[in-house]
Amino acid sequence: MTQKLDLLGKDYYSRESNQRYWSISQYKRFRECEARALAELRGDWTDTRDNTALIIGNYVHSYFESKEAHTKFIDTNKSELISSRGATKGKLKSQFLVAEQMIEALKKDDNFMALYQGEKEVAVTGFLGGIEFKGKIDCLNVERGYFVDIKTTKGPVDDTVWNGKERVYWFEHYGYILQMAAYVKMLEDTYGRPFEPIIYAVTKETPSDTLAIRVQNINAMVAEIEELENYIVRLDAVKHGQEKAIPCQHCDYCRANKLTQRVMIY
Q: Considering the complex, what minimum distance in angstroms separates the CB of residue 22 from Zn ion?
A: 19
Q: Considering the complex, what minimum distance in angstroms separates the CB of residue 13 from Zn ion?
A: 23
202-231 positions binding Zn ion, by CB under 5 A: none
Nearer to Zn ion, 142 or 248 (CB): 248
Give the binding range for Zn ion (CB under 5 A) out of 120-128, 178-186, 201-209, 239-247: 239-247
Residue 248 lies near Zn ion (rule: CB under 5 A): yes
Give the binding range for Zn ion (CB under 5 A) out of 48-56, 140-148, 218-226, 253-261: 253-261
Q: Considering the complex, what minimum distance in angstroms separates the CB of residue 252 from Zn ion?
A: 8
Please give the residue whose beta carbon sits closest to Zn ion in the complex.
33
Nearer to Zn ion, 206 or 261 (CB): 261
The rounded Cα 71 to chain-centroid distance in angstroms is 22
Residue 139 lies near Zn ion (rule: CB under 5 A): no
List, as one string, the DSSP characters of the chain. Answer: -PPPP-TTTTTTTSHHHHHHSB-HHHHHHHHH-HHHHHHHHHTS----S--HHHHHHHHHHHHHH-HHHHHHHHHHTHHHHB--SSTTTTSB-GGGHHHHHHHHHHHT-HHHHHH--SEEEEEEEEEETTEEEEEEEEEEETTTTEEEEEEEESS-TT-EEE-SSSEEEHHHHTTHHHHHHHHHHHHHHHHSS--EEEEEEEE-SSS--EEEEE---HHHHHHHHHHHHHHHHHHHHHHTTSSPPPP-SSSHHHHHTT-S------
How many residues bind Zn ion, per CB under 5 A? 6
Q: In what order do the strands lie in the sheet with 196-203?
A: 119-128, 131-141, 146-153, 196-203, 210-214
Nearer to Zn ion, 30 or 59 (CB): 30
Nearer to Zn ion, 175 or 247 (CB): 247
Taking only Cα atoms into account, the Rg of the chain, rounded to an integer number of angstroms, comes to 20
Residue 134 lies near Zn ion (rule: CB under 5 A): no
Nearer to Zn ion, 12 or 45 (CB): 45
User: Are 175 and 152 in contact, with CB atoms under 8 Å apart?
Assistant: no
5-64 positions binding Zn ion, by CB under 5 A: 33, 36
Q: Considering the complex, what minimum distance in angstroms separates the CB of residue 134 from Zn ion?
A: 25
Please confirm whether the linkage preceding 194 is cis (ω < 30° from 0). Answer: no
Can you tell me the distance from the alpha carbon of 89 to that of 72, in angstroms, rounded to the nearest whole number?
Answer: 20
Nearer to Zn ion, 10 or 250 (CB): 250
Q: Considering the complex, what minimum distance in angstroms separates the CB of residue 26 from Zn ion?
A: 15
Nearer to Zn ion, 97 or 248 (CB): 248
Residue 254 lies near Zn ion (rule: CB under 5 A): yes
Q: Considering the complex, what minimum distance in angstroms separates the CB of residue 123 from Zn ion?
A: 30
- The single residue among 106, 139, 177, 251 that binds Zn ion, judged by CB under 5 A, is 251
Q: Considering the complex, what minimum distance in angstroms separates the CB of residue 223 from Zn ion?
A: 26
Under the rule (CB under 5 A), what is the footprint of Zn ion? 33, 36, 247-248, 251, 254
